Structure 1
Amino acid sequence: MGGGGPDPKHGVFLGGWGNLGSPTQKGIITYALSANRQKPLGGAGHAAIFNTWRRSRNQILYVVPPFVIAYLAMDWATQRNEYLNSKAGRAEFGDAE
């Protein structure tokens, strides 16, 4: 099971970890280059643009309406304040507010 002793099922010695009893292979040479070393930023720009668009598209109805409502409320409040502090606003609502 782990190494070093007989296999309980078959009674055959498999060897320790890393040495399972087979002869070592000779004449096989492999070279590898990590995927991170080949193109570290391969497709990052393309993925960033389209992934951002996809994620933003799904959230637009949650974000835009509150901002529109807040903008309209702020615009109304600014116009109302400017009117109340103008000559006509003071004449109309001088003692009321």
Structure 2
Amino acid sequence: MRPTQILRSGGGPELGKYGNFYGNWGAFGGPKWKGIASYGLSLNQQRPLAGAFHNAIFNTWRRFYSQVWYWAPPMAVAYYAITWANARNEYLNSKAGRLEYADSE
């Protein structure tokens, strides 16, 4: 085989030989497919955000509702504990609290 013939043929085997039906890499020149239809839509006819805002509201609510039971009860318990601790600290550092618990220290 001459080197010029390799350059002309793309360096691969002939189409249809050795299981190579679609041509070399990047050069798909095989037999035409029959019975396959492809359709396209113009870019200015597409609606990429169709229903996005409506779905965002309901999807956000669904995700929030399914996860709220994991973080809301611990958050409520923590809020109650901090509120109780702050009120208890204020009482113990007040005049009445110091008089009541003066002997225990």
Alignment counterpart, residue 83 of structure 2, candidates 68, 75, 82: 75
Partner in structure 1 of residue 46 of structure 2: 38
Q: Does 1:56 align with 2:56?
A: no
What does 1:14-33 correspond to in 2, within 5 Å?
A: 16=23, 18-22=28-32, 32-33=41-42
Alignment counterpart, residue 66 of structure 1, candidates 71, 74, 83: 74
Distance (whole Å) between structure 2 residues aligned to residue 66 and residue 53 of structure 1: 20
Q: Report how far residue 84 of structure 1 moved.
A: 0.5
TM-score normalised by length of structure 1: 0.65
Q: Which has the higher contact order (CA 8 A, sep 6+)?
A: 1
Q: Which runs of 4+ in 1 moved over 6 A?
A: none
Tell me, yes or no, if the aligned pair for 1:4 and 1:15 is still in contact at 8 Å: no
Residues 15 and 74 of structure 1, relative CA distance in 2, 3 Å threshold: closer
For structure 2, the residue ranges without an aligned partner over 5 or more in a row are: 1-12, 33-38
CA RMSD of aligned residues (A): 3.1
2:66 is paired with a residue whose SS is helix
Q: Deviations over 1:14-44 (max 9, x none)?
A: 674543345xxxxxxx763249x72232222
Identity %: 46
Tell me, yes or no, if the aligned pair for 1:84 and 1:90 is still in contact at 8 Å: yes
